[in-house]
A and B are shown apart, each in its own frame.
Chain A
Amino acid sequence: MIYFLDIMLIALTASLINNFVLYYFVGICPFVGVSRKVEMAFGMGCAVTFVISIAALISWTITTMVLIPGAPLSSFIAGFFLPEEAAGKIDLTVLSYIVYIFAIASSVQFVEMYVRKFFPLLYRSFGVFLPLITTNCAILFACLTIMSHIVGVDNPADAWDIGRSMTLAFFGGVGFTIAIVIMSGIREELEICDIPEPFQGAAITLIIGGILALAFMGFTGVDSGIRDTIMPAPTEQNLTMAPLQAEILAQSDF
């Protein structure tokens, strides 16, 4: 139940509340560049969602299996050269950025080849965007967020598992798709508008993006509201100390 709630809130947060484009500003380049037509925007969104999920899967696996201290693979290999104590402490997180960017680049390559070979229809709809995605910040950002929830936590029980990580990545991609499709819908209408010359193109797109971001700010707090409804915070009554605890307190004073 708690796990399900957690997954649901991560999905909600990634797609709407802290939208990748409108809150974290990642993936602005395609947001400005490929948002002229709704079909193109949707194709781009699908491609990003697809790649982001695969990249998250790869980077979660690499992070937990190789990079973090005490990871199974790195300590197994280091076990041949080092005493067991030291092998368990091998920390390769310094390499994480390099590993992620290459994981993304190679997964984009593989996805492109695979989709072109086996799903020609799909390839026709978003294949052209695939090579562009390598330098899309959103993908690397998802990998980094997942890493920060594995490496940066105080106790191992809080570290994200594969389910949470994949949810974040997939719904981050969905949020990107939502933002870019809304944007392209507005821009199609803008074609027939009389925009002052200096603002045509990127400038008006950014200003509309600002208004969209303003609208998406309305989602803030929805997650804490849902959490409070499902799992109410302790109230004053159940906070009052149980008699047993009071006894212990009295003893220790003594």
Chain B
Amino acid sequence: MADQPTAFERFVQGILPENPVYRQLLGLCPTLAVSNGMKPALTMACSVAFVLLCANVVTSLIRNLLKPHLRIVVFTLTIATFVTIADRFLAAYLFQMSKTLGPYIPLIIVNCLIICRCEVCASKQSVFTAASDALGQALGFGLALSSIATVREIFGTGMFFGIRLLPSAWPDWVIMVLPPGAFITLGLLLGLVNWIGIVKSRRSVND
């Protein structure tokens, strides 16, 4: 396993260089659906972080017992269990939020991000590495989600975390909190991230 990245590398990679949303284009469904405000976005990010961490740790613990053709079954079983737990907890302690998020919490099960991390990292590396990978990826996911939510909430409602930020003369761009706003915001931000990447690589070539 000499060529596998270390725990710290995994953690750092997840945040920006291999950001799940902007770089790998994984988990776009929840990214678009719950990013119309900071509160749902952060709740979603925390739920994904919980599921990702638990799934990665469990997968890593049993990685030596796994048979290749059964691994997807085991991953799915693990993920579905932890998603159910997260969903029950939200319904019990954050009832309004769980109503707002609706079906998007159970849809974490089919979020490619988690099964991809189980496959790429957790089924090959130690528990500690898998956990730090999960934290890094979850942080990256949360960062992406909150960047989109920031843009959409501020332009769409003039508020941030439910607190008025722009003057009340601001004509709320309602379209930003509606579905089209999600697509367009993510498209523009993705273009921006790509552009920064291109500029950086050009500069390093010139140097």
Q: Do chains A and B touch in the complex (CB under 8 A)?
A: yes
Q: Is B143 an interface residue (CB 8 A)?
A: no
Give Cα A210–Cα B80 distance, bound, in whole angstroms.
31
Q: Which residues of A83-133 have CB atoms within 8 Å of chain B's CB atoms?
A: 94-95, 97-98, 101-102, 105
Which residue of chain A has the shortest Cβ distance to B106 in the bound complex? Answer: A97
Stretch at the interface among B8-16, B40-48, B126-134, B177-185: B177-185
Q: Is A57 an interface residue (CB 8 A)?
A: no
Residues from chain A with Cβ under 8 Å of B109 in the complex: 97, 101, 140
Does A32 lie within 8 Å of B25, measured CB to CB?
yes
**Interface flag for A202 (CB, 8 Å):** yes
Whether B32 and A28, one on each chain, are in contact in the complex, defined by CB atoms closer than 8 angstroms, is yes
Q: Is the CB of A206 within 8 A of B187?
A: yes
Given known contacts A135-B115, A203-B191, A210-B187, A32 and B28 CB-to-CB distance under 8 angstroms: yes
Instruction: Select which of A135, A209, A211, A213 is within 8 A of B110 by beta carbon.
Output: A135
The listed residue (A98, A140, A141, A204) touching B77 by CB distance below 8 A is: A98
Binding stretch for chain B, among A6-14, A155-163, A193-201, A238-246: A193-201
Shortest distance between the CB of A67 and any CB in chain B (Å): 13
Q: How far is the CB of B11 from chain A (nearest CB, A)?
A: 25
User: In whole angstroms, what is the CA distance A209 to B123 when docked?
Assistant: 35
- Interface status of B120 (Cβ within 8 A of chain A): no
The number of chain B residues with a CB under 8 A from chain A is: 40
Report how far A25 CA is from B179 CA in the complex, Å: 8
Contact A136 B110 (CB under 8 A): yes
The answer on a CB contact under 8 Å between B84 and A210 is no
Minimum C-beta distance from B158 to chain A (A): 21
Q: What residues on B are CB-neighbors of A202 within 8 Å?
A: 25, 187, 190
* B29–A28 CB distance below 8 A: yes
Complex interface: chain A residues within 8 A of B73 (CB): 105
Taking the complex as formed, is B81 at the interface, i.e. its CB lies under 8 A from any CB of chain A?
A: yes
A105 touches B76 (CB 8 A): yes
Contact of B84 with A98 in the complex, beta carbons under 8 Å: yes
Chain B residues whose CB sits within 8 angstroms of the CB of A101 once the complex forms: 76, 80, 109-110
Is A145 a contact of B179 with CB atoms below 8 Å?
A: no
Is the CB–CB distance between A135 and B191 below 8 Å? no
Chain B residue numbers with a CB within 8 Å of A25 are 28-29, 32-33, 179, 182
Check: B198 CB closer than 8 A to any chain A CB: yes
Which B residues touch A190, using CB under 8 A?
Answer: none
CB distance from A243 to the nearest CB of B (A): 43
Verify B103–A29 contact, CB threshold 8 A. no
B residues lining the A interface (CB < 8 Å): 25, 28-29, 32-33, 73, 76-77, 80-81, 83-84, 87-88, 103, 106-107, 109-112, 115, 175, 178-184, 186-188, 190-192, 194-195, 197-198
